[in-house]
Amino acid sequence: MVVFPNAKINIGLFITGKRPDGYHDLLSFFYPLMIHDALEIVPGNGDLEDIRFNSSGLAVSGKPDDNLCARAYRMLKADHPHLPAIDAHLLKKIPMGAGMGGGSADGSFMLMMLNRYFQLNIPESVLFEYALRLGSDCPFFILNKPAIVRGRGETLKPIHIDFSGYQILVVNPGIHVPTGWAFSQIKPREEEPPLEDWLQLPVTSWKQYIENDFFAPVAAKYPEIRALHDAMYDTGAVFASMSGSGSTVFGLFPKGHTPTLSFPPGYFQKWI
């Protein structure tokens, strides 16, 4: 069985508090992107009692046993001991450490695929709880629809935003921004901004209101990210931002306006 985990971008990202468990509360609009990995599973060969995981494409950091796909399998295996052994292969295309949620998507899609392939009959609400145990961004990919996200990522409110008149340029410079460092630069806001109200305004006015709290410190440390952000606006984007804690930058351009931008070799770029 093969599935295609997709990426996401954050339109607005505000840190609204620090929780007793050490996590931060956030407010953001998560928007799924049609940039995909490919994840395949097949039954194990009989001498295996667990998951055998490997990957190709972009290099995946860390040990295979620590990958979210393997962790998702073992999480379900602990509660469903009859879950058969599997071989799993991930073709990695979504840049990592880039604020696009690729690893989170892989883990969540593994949960959903195992549930469907082996007919575990786990309700979506329970899959959602498993996903939250995997990581803060993971529950979004169980829903996988545009949504306002609050808390650690466990509170999701689907909303519709019309992007039919726009195309999105996504660029990643290949910089890995350490998440822990990025959070250490943030002072939580005292009040939650009215992000949902701002999103109802014309897209052309978003840049007056919608921010990413990580952008200022990340762009100060990595000038390439600020340069990407500025290049989006200089070439006609009506809204541009960094996604997550970096380092991906995206711009919304009116359809029919496709500027020619030149990026250094090795930059990931895609029009959507």
Residue 270 annotated as catalytic: no
Q: Is 12 left (phi over 0), alpha (psi -120 to 50) or beta?
A: left
Catalytic, out of 25, 106, 137, 213: 137
Residue 137 annotated as catalytic: yes
Task: Calculate ∠ Cα 72-77-81, nearest 5°.
Answer: 170
Which has the closest alpha carbon to 69: 105, 115, 36, 106? 106
How far apart are the C-alpha atoms of 14 and 245, rounded to whole Å?
11
76 in Cβ contact with 83 (< 8 Å): yes
How far apart are the C-alpha atoms of 30 and 147, rounded to whole Å?
5
Which has the closest alpha carbon to 155: 213, 98, 195? 195
Catalytic, out of 8, 37, 77, 106: 8
Q: H or E segment at 71?
A: helix 68-79
Q: Is 5 helix (H, G, I), strand (E, B) or coil?
A: coil
* DSSP per-residue codes, 242-257: E-TTSS-EEEEEETT-
- Cis amide linkage into residue 108, ω under 30° from 0: no
- Give the list of residues 6+ apart from residue 162 with CB closer than 8 angstroms, or none: none
Residue at 47: amino acid letter: D
> Which residues are known catalytic residues?
8, 137
